[in-house]
Amino acid sequence: MNMNAKTKIAGLIMIAGFLLASMALPALAGGDHGKPGQKDIVETAVAAGNFTTLAKALEAAGLIETLKSAGPFTVFAPTDEAFTKLPAGTLEGLLNDPAKLKSILLYHVVSGKVMAENVMKLKSAKTVEGSSVKISVQGGKALINDANVIRADVMASNGVIHVIDSVILPH
């Protein structure tokens, strides 16, 4: 089987998984705070249904297993809509440059489990990529660089997800 066919099959399997997992979204709302059986960061994002582009990018960058590991991690997760704000062709270019994509995705990850209450007390946080993100609060809302945190404290077995409305880029 050639790589193109394998890619298409993997994509179809991923889409089917997203559709099935999206039925679990109501279970996310309560947040189990690390209880046994809780989904990891990748499974939690997939189950939410609005992170298909992020999941595709994580796979292309070879980061799925990393974010399924013990962690803990804090992930500033851009939604599918956030990825549409990138200039035309940017996402496609990144998907074809796994090293650069990996660097950008790791810029969205902080080691440790940092809850929103603690994030809002910080001015910056060092990312797994090595650079720091700027953290600010405006009108009672947290911003990571210029991205708004639109949902905080989505719990996973190996950390926490804070949903953001833009893709953030290292400086």
Q: Are 101 and 60 in contact (CB under 8 A)?
A: yes
Which CATH class, in words, describes the domain spanning 3-164?
mainly beta
What pLDDT does 26 receive?
Answer: 31
Q: How far apart are CA 107 and CA 113, in angstroms?
A: 15
How is the chain split into domains, by residue range? 3-164
What pLDDT does 127 receive?
Answer: 95
pLDDT tens digits, 62-75: 999 888 998 899 99
pLDDT tens digits, 20-43: 233 233 333 333 334 556 898 999
What pLDDT does 11 receive?
Answer: 34
Q: Supply the pTM of this predicted model.
A: 0.76
What pLDDT does 154 receive?
Answer: 93
Q: What is the CA radius of gyration of the chain?
A: 16
66 Cβ contact partners less than 8 Å away, ≥ 6 residues apart = none
Low-confidence ranges of the chain (pLDDT < 70): 1-37
